Structure 1
Amino acid sequence: AYVKSVPAVDNEPGSSDVQLLGRALFIAGQISALPAESIDHSAPAPAAVAPGATPQHGKYLITIGGCADCHNTALSGGPMTGAPPDAPPAANLTPQSELSGWTDADFIETMRTGVNPAGKQLNSFMPYKYIGLLSDDELRAMYLYLKTIPPKATGEQ
């Protein structure tokens, strides 16, 4: 929604280079500089669904948004794969987490402000500043989908 709301820009982004620190961490096996290798290229692309505040649209948004990259495929959180050892664990997004007590308004407000209903600031690893740019219906759809997934303990697959 946000990208559609701003005018196109004609620019040349230039090249992207991995600098010395990045190369050293890659050689030491601490980071993956080749994330494309971790993608299952034979998997079918997610089917587009009709926009709206529905669990189906929420699943689509969560899938294309890459939430599982940090929160794992079960969305149960825990240590993030490929993250530095001192990185904070990702939050559990299943109904077994603190989200179970949230309303859709709580979820939307948290994604917009980065502060959860208990007053706790979300970790800066969480891209809430960008997620908060989604429309109310898109955020509500994500919330509705999260309410449908199986409850899991943190880190459980």
Structure 2
Amino acid sequence: MSVEMELCGVRVRYGPLEALHGVDLPVPAGTATVLLGRNGSGRTTVLRALAGAVRPSAGRVLWRGADVTRLPAHLRARRGLCFVPDRRAVYTTLTVAENLRLAGDAGAALDAYPELRPLLSRRAGTLSGGERRMLAVSRALARPPRVVLVDEPALGMSPAVAARTYTLLGAL
């Protein structure tokens, strides 16, 4: 089994609070890996550490064996990492069409979520929670990423759209 990304003894602090306490987590290449746990167990912080959205206070983040611990999030994105955070995942002042254009191929996103088609001219900030989530997740479908990290993939979605989302993510 080859490892795509890996946390090695990672600790993350938010001020005086330590959210991750020496986490070791290999993420196998070519697989869907799911993190399960209670609220407050560190799932979001693990994803943020992998994406470069938070810097570990200790430990290392490896990507295909290379240490990327100090590599900023935007450079990880250029290397093919797509991070869809649980909140503030769309540009609320831009339209749906503009958000999709920034992501890449809007056609793939609209094929996956045809519900977005009639909303193309609307500002993303006026969308419902489920519509915003569809728009956010569609970024992972707009260009072929090497690694996709999605925090709370079905947040606010109807059960049918959530099921479709899990199928789409599983097919990446």
TM-score by length of 2: 0.29
Structure richer in strand, relative to its length: 2
Larger Rg: 1
Taking structure 1 as the reference length, the TM-score comes to 0.31
